[in-house]
Amino acid sequence: MAVERFPVEASHILMFARSIGDTNPIYSDPEYAAGTEVGSIIAPPTFAQSSAQFDPDYFLRPKPDKKWFGSGRTASGTLVRDLSEADGDDVTDEREDDKQSGAAAGGLHAEQHFTYHRHLKPGDVLHTVTYDGERWEKQSKRAGILKFSEAVTEYRDEDDELVITAKGVGVVTEKVIDN
Amino acid sequence: MALSASQLSVGDSYSEQIVDDLTRTQIVQYAGASGDYNPVHTDEKFVTEVAGYPTVFAHGMLTMGMTGRMVTNYVGDGRLTYYGVRFTSQVWPGDTLTAKAEVADIRDEDGQKLVDLTITTTNQDDRPVLTGQATARLDD
């Protein structure tokens, strides 16, 4: 699920900052930003995650030529089994062609880590390299057996310099979490 | 705006309410900006009838993003060198979240002063929904 071209754009940063309720002008006002230590608009610390927008195969975005597992005429466009048996991790099991590991991959997002070598700014054009990390299991009272998997993503710029190293941990639960 | 090592002590803390009465619309707004349209966050029919949850819930990354706002308001823009979290409990529509950073260590790395922060975000029932760490560059 490497992203070949992730152009960092000011309008995307603005939308992203709005969605997390951050009105800091460093994310939207070039004149203000020019007078600060960083000298230009930068992206919020978790913005790199939105590289998903530039992954053509990203499985959590509906695509016109593919059935979507969310609701339409029925509660799910892809699940055909008796819904009374369904639980959280069935969502993963039914999508054989879309299996992947790491952050939020079919299941829940357990951890996310970012190491910043520098901060993103409009005009950056990044690409990513992703590799699998560790896998482990844990027993939990609230959700049964938890299967964790780690994925490391390197965000690199056009000079192939490392900009951000991200590590995501995804977890697939045996049953729906008892809240 | 940035913090100075000389004015900071281990145990100092800073907190902000990062959202009051989280709306389903904000969750959808985050889905649109981040590109993560997982129906467990956006689709009431799917999440209740298929996934088996009581309603939609927030992306962990929305909570991390809103918590990050508290962190950058504290340490200054462009100062973070590391920010990492664990999602410890789900966040639901209607939740009110408070994020807190506490100074765990002030240190020197290759002549650069750094602060290590311990981060906790709790909901209206004082239940932690996110725990983590951040490291930021300090002025001397």
Closest-CA residue of chain A to B31: A19
Does residue A108 lie within any of the structural domains? yes
Check if the beta carbon of residue A3 is closer than 8 Å to that of residue A51: yes
d(CA B60, CA B38): 12
For residue A99, the model assigns a pLDDT of: 34
Test the A interface: residue of B3, B38, B53, B139 with most A CBs within 10 Å? B38
Does residue A121 sit within a domain? Answer: yes
Domain span including residue A126: 6-61+100-173
For residue B129, give the chain A residue with the closest CA.
A110
Give the total number of structural domains in chain A: 1
Residue B4 CB-half CA count within 13 A: 3
Q: Which of A58, A112, A163 to mutate: most B Cβ within 10 Å? A: A112
* Chain A: residue whose CA lies nearest to B29: A19
B18: nearest CA partner in chain A: A21
pLDDT tens column, B22-78: 999 999 999 999 999 999 999 999 999 998 999 999 999 999 999 999 999 999 999
* pLDDT (0 to 100) of residue A105: 35
Q: Cβ(A20)–Cβ(B97) under 8 Å?
A: no
In a domain, A90, yes or no: no
Q: Cβ B62–A36 below 8 Å, yes or no?
A: no
In the DSSP assignment, the letter for residue B122 is E
Say what the pLDDT of residue B12 is.
98
Measured distance CA(A71)–CA(A79) in Å, rounded: 10
Tell me the C-alpha distance between A115 and A99, whole Å: 26
The CB-side HSE value for A173 (13 A sphere, CA atoms) comes to: 19
ipTM score: 0.97
Say what the pLDDT of residue A90 is: 42
The burial of B18, by beta-carbon neighbours within 10 Å (0-12 exposed, 13-18 middle, 19 or more buried), is given as buried
Q: How many helices (H) and strands (E) does chain A have?
A: 3, 5
CATH assignment at residue A111: 3.10.129.10
Contact A21 B82 (CB under 8 A): no
Give A-chain residues touching B64 at CB under 8 angstroms. Answer: 46, 112
CA–CA dist A160, A167 (Å, integer): 19
In a domain, A112, yes or no: yes
* Phi, psi (degrees; rounded to nearest 5) at B85: -140, 160
Q: Could A70 and B42 be called an inter-chain contact, meaning their C-beta atoms sit closer than 8 Å?
A: yes
Per-position pLDDT tens, chain A of length 179: 689 999 999 999 999 999 999 999 999 999 999 999 999 999 999 999 999 999 999 999 999 999 999 999 999 988 754 444 444 444 444 333 333 333 333 578 899 999 999 999 999 999 999 999 999 999 988 888 999 999 999 999 999 999 999 999 999 887 777 66
In this prediction, residue A104 carries a pLDDT of 34
> Looking at residue A179, what is its pLDDT?
61
Which residues of chain B make contact with A113, given a CB cutoff of 8 A? Answer: 82-85
Q: What is the pLDDT of residues B92-130, one digit of tens each?
A: 999 999 999 999 999 999 999 999 999 999 999 999 999
Hey, are the CB atoms on B61 and A38 less than 8 Å from each other?
no
Domains of chain B: 5-137 (3.10.129.10)
CB A41 within 8 A of CB A13: yes
Identity of the residue in B43, B66, B72 whose CB atom sits nearest the CB atom of A71 = B43
The pLDDT value given to residue A86: 43
Chain B, nearest residue to A86 by Cα: B50
Instruction: Give every CB contact of residue A61 below 8 A, 6+ residues apart in sequence.
Output: A52, A53, B35, B36, B37
Burial class (CB in 10 A: 0-12, 13-18, 19+), B86: middle
Record: contact B1-A119, CB cut-off 8 A: no
Nearest CA distance, B66 vs chain A (angstrom): 5
Say what the pLDDT of residue A108 is: 84
List chain B residues with CB under 8 Å of A78.
Answer: none
Beta-carbon separation of B34 and A88 below 8 A: no
Angstroms from B9 CA to nearest CA on chain A: 24
Can you give the pTM of this predicted structure?
Answer: 0.90
Is B46 within 8 Å of A21 when comparing Cβ atoms?
Answer: no
